[in-house]
Every structure is written in C-alpha cells, then in structure tokens.
C-alpha cells in the first residue's frame, strides 16, 4: 500500500506541490493556500509562493 504525502495544489494553474498534512483542505481537495482554496475570489491573484503566478 502506498500513502500519498505530497500532491499538486488542486488550483488548476498553480504550480505548487503541497504536503497533505499541511495543506488547506476543502471539499476533499488539497490547496497550498487559502487564496487557492477560495478559487481566488475577490480578484486575489497568486498564492504568495515565489515563482508561482496562479
């Protein structure tokens, strides 16, 4: 059995890889930040991580 500990942020354009235990979980999906989890509502851009411009 394999246990997944890291995965790509569920925000489609986001490039971040997140640790499942530290990710923001929403509706069974894992995100690197609250901005991504909220689908960048209110014009939020980016997740705050360098090199990622989702």
Domains and their CATH numbers in the chain: 6-41 (2.30.170.10)
What local confidence, expressed as pLDDT, does residue 43 receive? 78
What local confidence, expressed as pLDDT, does residue 45 receive? 86
Residue 40 has pLDDT above 90, yes or no: yes
Query: What b/e string do you get for 9-24 counting C-beta neighbours within 10 Å, with b at 16 or more?
Result: bbbeebebebeeeebb
What local confidence, expressed as pLDDT, does residue 4 receive? 83
Interstrand relation of 24-26 and 29-31 (parallel, antiparallel or unpaired): antiparallel
pTM to 2 decimal places: 0.86
What local confidence, expressed as pLDDT, does residue 39 receive? 93
């Amino acid at each position: 059995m394999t246990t997944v500990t890291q995965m790509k942020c569920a925000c489609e354009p986001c490039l971040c890889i997140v640790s499942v235990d530290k990710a923001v979980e929403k509706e069974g999906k894992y995100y690197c930040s609250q901005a991504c989890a909220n689908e960048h509502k209110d014009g939020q851009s980016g997740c705050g991580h360098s090199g990622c411009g989702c």
